[in-house]
Amino acid sequence: MVSYILRKFLHLIPMLFVISFLIYLGIELMPGDAVDFMISPDEMATVSAEALAQMRSTLGLDKPFPVRYFIWLGNLLRGDFGYSLQSGVAVSTLVMNTLPATLELSVAALLISTLAGSFLGVFSALRKNSIADNALSIAGMIGVAIPQFLFGLIAIIVFVFNLGWFPVGGRMAPGQEAFLQRFEYLVLPAIVLGLSMTAGVMRYSRASMLDSLNRDYVKTARSKGLPEWRVNLVHGFRVACTPVAVLIGFRLPMLIGGAVVIEQIFQWPGLGVMFLGAVRSQNTPIVMMVGFFSVLLVLLASIIVDILTAILDPRIKFN
Amino acid sequence: MNTNAAIITVKDLNVNFYTNQRCNRVINGVSFEIKRGRTLCIVGESGCGKSVTANAIMQLLPELSRIEKGSITYHGSDGDIRIDQLDKNGKEMRKLRGKDIAIIFQDPMTALNPVYTVGFQINEMLQAHNPRMSRKSATEKSIDLLKDMGIPLPEQRVNEYPHQFSGGMRQRSMIAMAMACAPRVLLADEPTTALDVSIQAQIFELMEELKTKRDTAIMLITHDMGVVAELADEVAVMYMGNIVEFGTIEDVLNSPAHPYTKALLKSIPVLGKGKTQKLDPIRGSTPDPFSRPKGCQFQPRCDYACKECEVQMPDETLVNGIHRVMCFNYLEVLENGK
């Protein structure tokens, strides 16, 4: 098992290399560069060509694209993530300031969607064709189909402005940093972010559960005289949860992607807000850093899924 | 209690399936007894209601189906229990399942849960009926059971998963599980259909042993006449939800009184007659359960059919002893010999 995981990690390296190059290429292909965004259009007319060239060479933008990529890569390997082109603040500092907020939001959404999704899915499967099951199926379809930002706006109108249950946005009030004090800020964005995934997990675990309940081993379990809860959960759900775990693992990156949008709506001071700003102003070091981490996360998620399925299903062997 | 005492009595059992808003009368008045230390074989082609009968006894019928009429009585040590009147997954039914009546299914590949060890699944059976049994003593008992069923290295095998077992070993573990609580009745629903011939023989040897050593009553469902000849004490031949002929093994094999039984016996290829031997298949095919023939269900395919057969299903007639048949022209069939 250890050698399997090590091998998986070794496979990461070439993938990270190729993908980081593609991201870098993507930024390069965008028209203009960071300098164009630092100077306002009004000033642009008065700045001399020499001054612009001077700025570019200080920022290292005058070198050809492949050279710049390898400089970035070399710095990365030495643990230097670079500095923001605009503010000059170290990228690692910027990320460290915003990453916890994003992680908090994503983990909360993940927990909500996993727990609520599988509970509702199993409930729905056990009450197949009942009114509750049909209602949940419709709700699930709506949840999957409607985009998150719409849910976010509706949630703000209903729960913030009409009912006044939650604060409008942000992550905490000044001076109130304990988790319990800022919990009310987390609730709404976490639910909205988790909603579509909850719907997905629910639909999937319902289907998986129904499939499992139709198998012979469930009948065997019943023929042993086991109580119904044991037949359904210990035998039915235990087998049904493997594909659900795989689904959740592969949706993990989507959660981070969704966070970018939700953070905008709820003014959540996370990675997403910073990332969008950096893309617009072609702040290469920041875009690269966030992109690099997202890719790493996606690849790690797939390794976690592999390990998880091998643990959940004894028929699957490592390697 | 005398040795031939019935443990389960099924009387005039009717089971209906309600699918696609249509009603399929799967079993129409089936009666028989399962006796201690005896093997009752139920034979018939696919879809004739063999498995449904076994599942009805265990109250394991699928959704949208129910026992319409008739009774299933379990003659327990503390009095009779009407199984058909028990709550499907209620406490009393659960107490019977596994402890008094156990069942083995057709396909051992799917009947065991793939994510639990074989030992866990046998322990579950033991602990369900002996709540005070510790996990350790349950595992010891499981090892003994596996050993009894002829599984080598049971101490190691008990901690392995079903996929690490071969088909025959899985079916033997299923039997070990079924026999864990020493049930009085074993229902075997085509236990060897999914296994190859040499393994079949081993499984049947095991079942013979259970019958003779532990006095277990066995109901064996099969469509293999060879198996019937080998194992059965009594035989019930089913066709389209009726037991068309019932009798001792000698009655049914040597002097079949129903044209269907006779045709079944004639359609079996005989080993040693060579590949040029002429087989006598039954003409036509099994009717669609939703558009059944009028009168006798076998009438469109029957060589002995007469006008009366098209009007109504014949009643059961006693031939002699326990040999009974559902045919108007059984005397003619009997006269014709084998």
pLDDT tens per residue across span B91-100: 888 889 988 9
Interchain proximity A315–B163, CB inside 8 Å: yes
Residues whose CB falls within 8 Å of the CB of residue A64, separated by 6 or more in sequence, listed in order: none
Which residues in A lie closer than 8 A to residue B124 (C-beta atoms)? Answer: 221, 224, 226
Pick among A212, A215, A218, A224 to test the B interface (most B CBs inside 10 A)? A224
Interchain proximity A314–B114, CB inside 8 Å: yes
Query: What is the mean predicted confidence (pLDDT) over A213-223?
Result: 91
Interchain proximity B115–A314, CB inside 8 Å: yes
Decide if A288 contacts A26 (C-beta within 8 A): no
Kindly report, residue by residue over A50-101, the tens digit of the pLDDT: 777 777 777 777 777 888 888 888 888 887 777 777 777 888 888 888 888 8
Q: Does A298 touch chain B (CB under 8 A)?
A: no
More confident residue, A177 or A221: A221
- The confidence band for A276, taking pLDDT boundaries of 50, 70 and 90, is confident
Query: What is the mean predicted confidence (pLDDT) over A235-248?
Result: 89
Q: Report pLDDT for A123.
A: 93
Domains, chain A: 2-77 (no CATH), 92-312 (1.10.3720.10)
Closest CA to A277 of A22, A37, A103, A19: A37
Residues whose CB falls within 8 Å of the CB of residue A204, separated by 6 or more in sequence, listed in order: A117, A121, A243, A244, A247
Q: Who among B113, B114, B128 is closest to A225 (CB)?
A: B128
Interchain proximity A235–B60, CB inside 8 Å: no
Kindly report, residue by residue over A301-315, the tens digit of the pLDDT: 888 888 888 888 888
More confident residue, A153 or B269: A153
Q: Does A219 touch chain B (CB under 8 A)?
A: yes
Q: Report pLDDT for B288.
A: 83
Query: What is the mean predicted confidence (pLDDT) over A153-163?
Result: 85
Interchain proximity A239–B114, CB inside 8 Å: yes
Q: Who among A225, A226, A314 is closest to B161 (CB)?
A: A314
If one counts every other C-beta atom within 10 angstroms of the C-beta of residue A228, the result is 15
- The CA R_g of chain B, rounded to the nearest whole Å, is 21
- The residues facing B318 across adjacent strands are B324
Q: Is the ipTM of this complex over 0.90?
A: no
Which residues in B lie closer than 8 A to residue A226 (C-beta atoms)? Answer: 94, 124, 128
* Tokens of residue B284, six digits: 């036509």
Q: Report pLDDT for A319.
A: 59
Query: Which of the residues in chain B have pLDDT under 50?
Result: 1-3
By a Cβ cutoff of 8 Å, what residues of chain B touch chain A? 58, 60, 89, 93-99, 102-103, 105, 107, 110-116, 121, 124-125, 128-129, 161, 163, 174, 177
